[in-house]
Amino acid sequence: MKKKFDAIMYVGLAVIIVEVMALAGIHITSRAAARMEDAIEITEAPPIEVSEKTDTKEPIYKAITVSEDDAVLLEQIIWAEANNQNFKGQKACLEVIFNRVLSDEWPDTIYDVLSQRGQFATWKSRGKAKPTEVQSDVISEVLRETETVLPDTSYVYFDTKGVNGRDHVKIQDHVFGR
């Protein structure tokens, strides 16, 4: 009796697995179905449509190279400036840094932008920062993105009161300006 129950249970489990696979667009072969005593109806997988149109957008910050040292500094500053903000808010802070690197009006290296006197209040205390994987993910994602969180790459300021720049955009507790 137990063997019969086990067999029924395994066939039932197989049916569930195959149904879940079918919902996901995965179909099994007829040989695999035969092993399950033909308990499952097999259908052909739909043809895969190949689109000739591909996404040709380049990442916004493709011109920026982030060394290991730069990544450590960025993680520390993002954590210190925005660890209490959501992922989007942290990305916006990083975009400001990258926008400065790309701008002719600011230094052209990550280190020089971050260490510029009077710009990032957290620069001197960066060693106390406790970055997590989130800050690393922020950097990776921003470097891959083809669209910015901020309206465009001219946004080079952020603070909590909106006193810097113009055309302000608020994301959580920070106000971003150009």
**CA dihedral sign, ordered 119, 120, 126, 131:** negative
Which of 10-24, 32-46, 66-80 has the weakest average pLDDT? 32-46
When pLDDT is cut at 50, 70 and 90, the band that residue 56 belongs to is: confident
CA distances from 161 to 158, 174, 175, 177 (A): 9, 7, 6, 11
Q: Which residues lie across from 155 on neighbouring strands? A: none
Given a cut of 70, whether residue 173 has pLDDT beyond it is yes
When pLDDT is cut at 50, 70 and 90, the band that residue 40 belongs to is: very low
When pLDDT is cut at 50, 70 and 90, the band that residue 172 belongs to is: very high
Average pLDDT over residues 112-134: 96
> Residue 116 corresponds to which amino acid?
Q
Question: What are the residue ranges spanned by the domains of the chain?
Answer: 1-50, 68-177
What pTM was estimated for this model as a whole?
0.69
> Residue 100 corresponds to which tokens in the numbers above?
């400065």
Q: What is the pLDDT of residue 30?
A: 46
For 35, other C-beta atoms within 10 Å of its C-beta total 11
Looking at the chain, the whole-number percentage of residues with pLDDT higher than 70 is 69
Higher pLDDT, 82 or 10: 82
> Residue 28 corresponds to which tokens in the numbers above?
């099994």
Average pLDDT over residues 10-23: 59
Task: Supply φ then ψ for residue 144, to 5 degrees.
Answer: -90, -20
When pLDDT is cut at 50, 70 and 90, the band that residue 143 belongs to is: very high
d(CA 137, CA 82) in angstroms, rounded, equals 14
